[in-house]
Amino acid sequence: MTNSRLDSKAESDSLTTASNGAPTVLITGASKGVGAACVHGFAKAFPEGINLVLVARGLAGLQELESELSQYPNAKVLTLTADIADLKACKQLVAAAVQEFGGINVLVNNAGLHHRGEFSQRTPEQIAAMVDVNLRSPLYLAALVLPLMPKSGQRAIVMVGSLAGRAPLQGAATYSSTKSGLRAFAYALSDELRDKNINVAVVSPGPIDTHFIMDEIDEVEDIVYSQPMSTPEQVAAAIVKLAKGTETEITMPWFSGKLTTLGYLFPSFRRASRGLLYRIGRKNKDKYRRRQS
């Protein structure tokens, strides 16, 4: 991990909001897509001041984003390069954030990994990597951050889930199961912490118009494109809303969220509608291919 200054020990009982009086937000997968949109979203949502801890594997993307943040004089920025699949790196980045700003008010678990294709086509290593990035590390980071949160003020943990976590998605069995686990964790922890006024929430979007799916359009299941595409800014706005509010989940688009509920409750409906959704998805995918070219 680079760009960090580490304490050997952080004492949780001495932590407060940063000395500049601003809340501190830690965002993983911050260098592009939804993560980068979140950075801008939080900077705009806290004009009175905010501390942003930006975590990603690539330094170049973080440096570019940091330069963009010069338009927000209210924002103080700490950039950290780390692979969150490495639990030691997770502990180091949290320590660096605490040393720099005194505490962490909001954790946004945004980083994600998806090796696409049917389960039988994936290697055990790819499956383990998806579990590590999408589920194990978000839980680990939440466990690290919770004792370090200030005793009052803005406090939240927001997971970036997926509609695939609300209803099983063939061709994405591991991804779907990790996002489902992340959603279940958000709901359970939300109930545990409700009396402590720490909001734990999950945003569950359908397809998002980012490199995450557009650069791999031929590998993405056709059914994914059967749903309306959200922009990174729309998802980021939902994340900021959850971080500042009391809701537990936002699905987007709204109607797609209702479809996943039906598909989960009535598997026969999901299987019966699959052919139609695949046809719609293939047609939409062709439109996106033409746009890409």
User: Which residues belong to the active site?
Assistant: 175, 179
Concatenate the DSSP letters of all residues of 162-184 into one string: -GGGTS--TT-HHHHHHHHHHHH
Phi-psi region of 271 (alpha: psi -120 to 50; beta: other; left: phi over 0): alpha
Report whether 181 contacts 130 (CB < 8 A): no
For the stretch 97-132, what's the b/e string if a residue is b when 16 or more beta carbons lie within 10 angstroms of its beta carbon?
Answer: bbebbbbbbbbbbbbbbbbbbeeeebeeebbebbbb
Rounded Cα–Cα distance for residues 260 and 234 (Å): 19
Cβ neighbour number for residue 87 with a 10 Å cutoff: 14
The identity of residue 74, as a single letter, is N
Rounded Cα–Cα distance for residues 124 and 44 (Å): 42
In 142-260, the DSSP E strands lie at 156-160, 199-205, 249-252
Close Cβ partners of 22 (under 8 Å, ≥ 6 residues apart): 46, 48, 49, 50, 51, 74, 76
Q: Dig out the tokens for 52 from the structure.
A: 């942003």
- Three-class SS state of 92: helix
